[in-house]
C-alpha cells in the first residue's frame, strides 16, 4: 500500500477581494501543487479539465462569500461534477456528521481517509472516507491511470538523466526502459477501454 498523497495542499491566507471566484484560479493551482484537492490527480495532461469547487457549496453559504479564498478547492471536473451541492449537514459550519460529509482537502486529516494500492488505486480507509469515496466516485479508473502516468513520466525523466550521465549504462537502463514501455502499453490500453470523464 502507498500513502494517498505525498504532500498536503495549503491555502495561503489570501484575503484580497475579487469580483469573481475564478480570478483565484492561478493562486489555487499553485497552493494545490497543480493537483485536484479531492483525488490528487495532477493536471499535466488535461485529459480532464480542472475547475474550482466551493468546499461548502454555494447553496449553503450564509456568512462565507462565494469569492472567499479559504472555501475554494482546485478540483478536476470528475470530482467537481460528482460533488456538486452535496452537503449532508446543510449547515456551512458543519463539514461532516455521522460519517457523512466532507473534510477540507487542505486539512491533513483528509489524507487519512484514504490509502492507495501500489498501482495508485484509491481505497477508503475510514467510514467517512468510504462515504466520500462513493460520493466523489474516487473508484473511477482514471484516478489510478493518471497516478500511474505521472509515475511513468517521472521514470522517463530518470531514464533521461541516466542517458545524459552515462550513455553506455547497459542493463540498468534496459530494465528501466522495459518497465516504462510495458507500463505505458498496459495503461494506454486501459485508457482506450474506459475513457475519461
Ligand atoms: Zn479529482
Written as tens digits, the pLDDT of the chain (197 aa) is 889 999 999 999 999 999 999 999 999 999 999 999 999 999 987 678 899 999 999 999 999 999 999 999 999 999 999 999 999 999 999 999 999 999 999 999 999 999 999 989 999 999 999 999 999 999 999 999 889 888 888 888 887 787 777 766 677 777 888 888 888 778 777 776 766 66
Q: Which of 97, 117, 139 is the last residue of a domain?
A: 139
Rounded to the nearest angstrom, the distance between the alpha carbon of 54 and the centre of ligand 1 is 13
Residue 11 lies in a domain: no
* Of 100, 116, 139, the domain-final residue: 139
The pLDDT value recorded for residue 167 is 63
Are residues 34 and 120 both part of a single domain?
Answer: yes
Alpha carbon of 38 to ligand 1 centroid (Å) = 5
Contact of 110 with 128, CB cutoff 8 Å: no
CA of 40 to the centre of ligand 1 (A): 6
Span from the CA of 175 to the centroid of ligand 1 (angstroms): 32
38 shares a domain with 132: yes
The residues near 36 (Cβ < 8 Å, ≥ 6 apart) are 43, 50, 74, 75, 76, 79
- Grid coordinates representing 33? 501543487
- Would residue 9 count as lying in a domain? no
Please check whether residues 106 and 49 belong to one and the same domain: yes
Q: How far is it, in rounded angstroms, from Cα 139 to Cα 136?
A: 8
* Residue 135 alpha carbon to ligand 1 centre in Å: 12
Q: What is the pLDDT of residue 182?
A: 81
Residues 45 and 130 in one domain: yes
Do 32 and 110 belong together in one domain? Answer: yes
Q: What's the pLDDT score for residue 196?
A: 64
* Statement to judge: residues 135 and 159 lie in one domain: no
Q: How far is the CA of 185 from the centre of ligand 1 (A)?
A: 24
| Residue 155: domain span | 143-194
| Whether residue 152 sits in one domain with residue 125 | no
Integer Cα distance of 115 and 135 in angstroms: 17
Tell me the C-alpha distance between 51 and 44, whole Å: 14
Number of domains comprising the chain: 2
Question: What distance in angstroms lies between residue 26's CA and the mean position of ligand 1's atoms?
Answer: 17
Kindly state whether residues 66 and 162 are assigned to the same domain: no
> How far apart are the CA of 129 and the centre of ligand 1, in A?
15
From CA 152, how far away is CA 44, in angstroms rounded? Answer: 13
**Do both 86 and 120 map to the same domain?**
yes
Amino acid at each position: 500500500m502507498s500513502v494517498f498523497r505525498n504532500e498536503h495542499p495549503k491555502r495561503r491566507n489570501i484575503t484580497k477581494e475579487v469580483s469573481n471566484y475564478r480570478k483565484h484560479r492561478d493562486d489555487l493551482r499553485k497552493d494545490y501543487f497543480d493537483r485536484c484537492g479531492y483525488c490528487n490527480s495532477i493536471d499535466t495532461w488535461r485529459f480532464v479539465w480542472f475547475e474550482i469547487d466551493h468546499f461548502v457549496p454555494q447553496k449553503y453559504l450564509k456568512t462565507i462569500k462565494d469569492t472567499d479564498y479559504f472555501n475554494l478547492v482546485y478540483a478536476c471536473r470528475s470530482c467537481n461534477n460528482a460533488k456538486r451541492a452535496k452537503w449532508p449537514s446543510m449547515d456551512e459550519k458543519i463539514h461532516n456528521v455521522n460519517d457523512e460529509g466532507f473534510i477540507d482537502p487542505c486539512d491533513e486529516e483528509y489524507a487519512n481517509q484514504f490509502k492507495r494500492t501500489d498501482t495508485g488505486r484509491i481505497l477508503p480507509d475510514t467510514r467517512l472516507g468510504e462515504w466520500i469515496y462513493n460520493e466523489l466516485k474516487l473508484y473511477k479508473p482514471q484516478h489510478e491511470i493518471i497516478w500511474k502516468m505521472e509515475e511513468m513520466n517521472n521514470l522517463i525523466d530518470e531514464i533521461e538523466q541516466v542517458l545524459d550521465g552515462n550513455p553506455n549504462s547497459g542493463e540498468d537502463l534496459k530494465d528501466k526502459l522495459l518497465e516504462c514501455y510495458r507500463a505505458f502499453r498496459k495503461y494506454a490500453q486501459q485508457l482506450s477501454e474506459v475513457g475519461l470523464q
